[in-house]
Structure 1
Amino acid sequence: MGDFRLPSLGADLEHGKLVEWLIGPGDHVSPGDSVAVVETAMTTLDVETQQEGQVTELLVDIGTTVPVGTPMVRIMETEDGAAQPAPVSDPPSDLPSKAQSEVPSEAQDRVSTLRRAIGSLMSRSKKSIPHYYLSTTLDLRAALEWMQQVNQQRPVASRLVPSALLLKATALAAREVPEVNGFFTDGIFRPSSSVHLGVAVALRHGGQVAPAIHDADTLPLDVLMQRLRDLVGRARAGRLQRAEMADPTITVMNLGDLGVEAVFGVIYPPQVAMVGLGRMVEQPWAHDGLLGVRPAVAATLSADHRVSDGLRGGRFLGRIDELLQKPEEL
């Protein structure tokens, strides 16, 4: 017999409110199964278990706010993973059914709560992390020419967009420059062997969240773009997975669609870097004594000086630009 406890919900999130149970007594659960919907100051998350066994008791009432680490579900482990007969007793009467549990939250109060949570997190970041900032201009001429050629052979629904190329190049560069990809905790930097690319998503009622596209450096461009669309949709609908909020290793903020030319972000602790992308512009460009025009994007890096410096940060931004010059290899 073991208890499933409320796991980490993301940076600076210490409490969660139980909104809905997705399982009940007698159900069999396996690692990765979603067991509950939990509301945090940032968003609403599907929380998954990493245990195998049969649910015997739900320990928290719907509508209750509990700290991370609180026992939520009692699970009877089974040797062969097979479900045992359901317990004779009915679930407690004060645990509403799934239909009863759908309690609407008011807009999202939620907006002011989200603002306070973001403000608290960013304030802690600026106070505790010695930020340094770099910027460069990404030459998109080769990337866009290649993308246009590829898109000519595709239906509209499956065409690539510039954001997919920018995100993939960022993920690959983060893998090659590990000082920007990982977590600084307990005075120690722990680089990540995977690139879980956090993507800042603006929410409809205000505020933002930054869930992760897992293993973004290994995904083909088409898959990465599908994951991006899915992630944005679920973020705005408030149905993210807990892991998507808990484990981004580096975050990208793209404000180009809002007309912003450059953005210098604040690092999401315990991460150690944030990339900012502005809008695509046409700018004059001199090459081999000739003046032309090229499409370009301003890219910025906010990084933790305890882990990296201008040399490594500059290498990271430079590598993004190099990768975009060979888009067929992304």
Structure 2
Amino acid sequence: MGVFTMPSLGADMEAGQLIEWLVSPGDTVTRGDIVAVVETQKGAIEIECFEEGTVKDLLAEIGADLPVGAPLAVIQAKGETIPERPVPVQPSPVAKEPPVDAKPAPQPVMPAPPVAPHIAAAPGVVPSSPAARIKARELGLDLAGLSGSGPGGAIVLADVETQKAPPPRRSPQDEMRRAIAAAMTRSKQTIPHFYLSQTIDVTPAMDWLTSFNEGKPPSERVLLGALFLRATVLAAAKVKTVNGHFTDEGFRPSDKINPGLAVALRSGGLVAPAIMDAEQMGLVDLMAAMRDLVTRARAGRLRSSEMTEGTITLSSLGDSGAESMAGVIFPPQVALVGIGAPGLRPWVIDGSVEPRQLVTLTISADHRANDGRQASRFLSVFDSLLSTPEAL
């Protein structure tokens, strides 16, 4: 079809008023696309296109009263010739007042046009045109908060287009990563880091774990990471300068030891929620707390206290990865313990070289709260604890 005309929307329909265009020249339309909204005695009705093609011209202006068959738009199908442009239908002029001596004909009183049932839907549904609803979804707007200028107060496209899209809603994981990124930037800019490392022999710890876990189901086994965490807690209890917060008032050691545990998320990134009051837990309870924390961290179900009340952080690369790592301190904490992946390497024992499982232990410390002596003592205590795992 060359000219798309005002369709008949019912046997009793004679005309309608164009209140909204949903297409513009150059748009491609297909059968079933809604191209305009027209007000009739039955209310606002969406006009569908029944052909495919390209909109070349809009022949009717908003506000025009259009009888059935009036030209609305020129839609050119492939290979079709466009007819001469009809005269655009203008909004109906205001009728001239009749002569003073002429008696005006009585005019029937017409009821105000109601909003179409498909726009003013069930209670709780905001009356709106399809284009307005689509645009609102694109912008993330709630139609309930907008005022409508269409028939019966219905919201039309123009009402939505004047609104600004709200900022994109972040997921809990996004918010978590955003907070961690800000903290890490602030950490490197404001905390004077220094690093000390020590290689320790974890063969006694791994041998003890093999014996301890023998015959136990997987859910009751203790992992090497739990020994590392327990040693961190006990060493922090002895070297109090690594456990606490540095604030505007200076360093404040903490009576509680809430070790943060770096957890890699499946969606990417890293979080370091804390196990609260870990100094009161034995090794088995600490292992259970670790499992619970990791599960909830990866499910995005962490508590605010776990993200804000850590007093020292442990980051371990697990069974595979680099030999050593030097982490970034989580402010306002003053220390982070990094443990590389264990590996079989030559080690001197009583003058003889033996293959042993070794790990490199590194502490990142805040020089405002610690110096090399305290950090070195922490590493020494940690090493001593791992050499006697049965005491953990």
With structure 2 as the length reference, what TM-score do the two structures score? 0.55
Q: Give the C-alpha shift of residue 117 in structure 1.
A: 3.6
User: SS where residue 212 of structure 1 aligns?
Assistant: coil
User: SS where residue 240 of structure 1 aligns?
Assistant: coil
**Aligned counterpart in structure 1 of residue 315 of structure 2, from 248, 253, 269:** 253
Distance 2:325 2:222 in 1: 24
Distance 1:137 1:329 in 2: 21
Structure 1 292/257 Cα, relative in aligned 2: closer, same or farther at 3 Å? closer
Q: Give the C-alpha shift of residue 106 in structure 1.
A: 8.1
> What amino acid is the match of 2:209?
M
User: SS where residue 324 of structure 2 aligns?
Assistant: coil
**Aligned counterpart in structure 1 of residue 379 of structure 2, from 298, 317, 320:** 317
Q: Give the C-alpha shift of residue 155 in structure 1.
A: 2.8
Partner in structure 2 of residue 308 of structure 1:
370
Q: Which has the higher strand share?
A: 1
Task: Output aligned runs, 1:153-302, within 5 Å.
Answer: 153-302=215-364
Consecutive unaligned residues of structure 2, counting only runs of 5 or more, are: 1-139, 141-167
Structure 1 116/212 Cα, relative in aligned 2: closer, same or farther at 3 Å? closer
Encode CA deviations 1:241-280: one digit per residue, 9 max, x unaligned: 2211120000111123451221111111100000111111
> What amino acid is the match of 1:240?
L
Asked if the contact 2:344/2:355 (under 8 Å) is kept, the reply is: yes
Distance 1:114 1:160 in 2: 29
Structure 1 284/236 Cα, relative in aligned 2: closer, same or farther at 3 Å? same
With structure 1 as the length reference, what TM-score do the two structures score? 0.65
Asked if the contact 1:108/1:205 (under 8 Å) is kept, the reply is: no
Aligned residue pair count:
226
> What amino acid is the match of 1:198?
G
Distance 1:178 1:109 in 2: 33
Asked if the contact 2:177/2:271 (under 8 Å) is kept, the reply is: no
Distance 1:285 1:258 in 2: 20
Asked if the contact 2:172/2:300 (under 8 Å) is kept, the reply is: no
Q: Give the C-alpha shift of residue 154 in structure 1.
A: 2.3
Task: Output aligned runs, 1:125-164, within 5 Å.
Answer: 125-164=187-226
> What amino acid is the match of 1:289?
G
Consecutive unaligned residues of structure 1, counting only runs of 5 or more, are: 1-62, 64-104
The answer to which structure, 1 or 2, has the higher relative contact order (CA under 8 A, 6+ apart) is 1
> What amino acid is the match of 1:200?
A
Encode CA deviations 1:158-181: one digit per residue, 9 max, x unaligned: 111111111100110011100000
Encode CA deviations 1:107-134: one digit per residue, 9 max, x unaligned: 85955x6554433221211111111001
Encode CA deviations 1:72-126: one digit per residue, 9 max, x unaligned: xxxxxxxxxxxxxxxxxxxxxxxxxxxxxxxxx9885955x65544332212111
Encode CA deviations 1:32-88: one digit per residue, 9 max, x unaligned: xxxxxxxxxxxxxxxxxxxxxxxxxxxxxxx9xxxxxxxxxxxxxxxxxxxxxxxxx
Distance 1:142 1:258 in 2: 19
Q: Percent identity?
A: 50
Q: Give the C-alpha shift of residue 323 in structure 1.
A: 0.4
Distance 1:290 1:183 in 2: 44
Asked if the contact 1:107/1:205 (under 8 Å) is kept, the reply is: no
User: SS where residue 196 of structure 2 aligns?
Assistant: strand
Bigger Rg over Cα: 2
Q: Give the C-alpha shift of residue 217 in structure 1.
A: 2.6
Q: Give the C-alpha shift of residue 153 in structure 1.
A: 4.2
> What amino acid is the match of 2:318?
G
User: SS where residue 328 of structure 2 aligns?
Assistant: coil
Q: Give the C-alpha shift of residue 313 in structure 1.
A: 0.1
Distance 1:199 1:304 in 2: 18
Structure 1 282/107 Cα, relative in aligned 2: closer, same or farther at 3 Å? farther
Distance 1:109 1:141 in 2: 40
Encode CA deviations 1:172-212: one digit per residue, 9 max, x unaligned: 00111000000001141110111101001111111221111
Asked if the contact 1:144/1:162 (under 8 Å) is kept, the reply is: yes
Partner in structure 1 of residue 183 of structure 2:
121
Task: Output aligned runs, 1:26-45, within 5 Å.
Answer: none
Distance 1:191 1:129 in 2: 17
Structure 1 110/249 Cα, relative in aligned 2: closer, same or farther at 3 Å? closer
User: SS where residue 325 of structure 2 aligns?
Assistant: coil
